[in-house]
Amino acid sequence: MRNVRVGAAQLGPIQKAESRSHVVKRMLALLDDAAKQGCTLVVYPELALTTFFPRWYAEDRAEFDLYFEADMPGPETVPLFERAAQHGIAISLGYAEKTPEGQHFNTSILTDRKGAIIGKYRKIHLPGHVEFDPERTHQHLEKRYFLPGDLGFPVFHAQDGLIGMCICNDRRWPETYRVMGLQGVEMVILGFNTPSVNSQRNSEGLEERLFHHRLSLQAGAYQNATWVVAVAKAGTEDGHHLMGGTLIVDPEGHIVAELPGEADGLLVQDCDLDATRFGKETIFDFKRHRRIEHYGPITAQVGVVLPPKTA
């Protein structure tokens, strides 16, 4: 058995006026709780240090640079890394990254149990739009403030296994899991900030969004024989509601743990990485069963190409 005791550290809402140092205190409280429960890995949500600022439009994008981290760890986040190292716990957290070259990404990192960063992922599937859209009831401007990720879907040696990362909307795309699955991934960790109502389909409410959320995670886990750990930022944030849905899925696609509510909370689960072997060696033995000669359109085209009409 290669057991990873995971703490999925959900955060409740982070208001616009809340300081990073206060958010880090909340994250430290969850980390201390995880240490008491014997966790070796704690996963925090997407954009864990700030409110979900892409809900607002700024003519000058530089106005929102205050939400970005130029260094990780930085002055306000160093305590989190130090405490994690003291506890011997690896952490993963999402944040808005500003590179030395001035590029902006929606990013997650993974540390080892000594607090050193060993992996980085930048969100690839950015939802939403670039310009203000008066037809929408809610703005979602990730495409305005972030570039698409440029690191691919790497998988890292960690926790005596193989761990990959994705962020929020990535979880809905089967290619996300498959690219990591082809690297032998045994646990996919991700954070998300998901509105409870679709901005363009108001009839799609909370329960429908949670259904699609669970469906995407369960399918990705089963079809690639991997654990999936998904962690929410939830609750009413600056007047906008984010759904919960922090949960853990096993390699056969079963939800084995789910956190109720929308406040700060910790979901703890033992995840045996050896449980991935059955699926990887039988139904989804890629080496024996994949037929890549028929998969060309997946990477050769972006949109739909209709088949020719028969006479």
Catalytic residues: 46, 123, 168
As beta bridge partners, residue 96 has 106
* Nearest-10 Cα torsion for 23, 24, 30, 34: 160
Residue closest to 193 by CA, chosen among 44, 27, 16, 92: 44
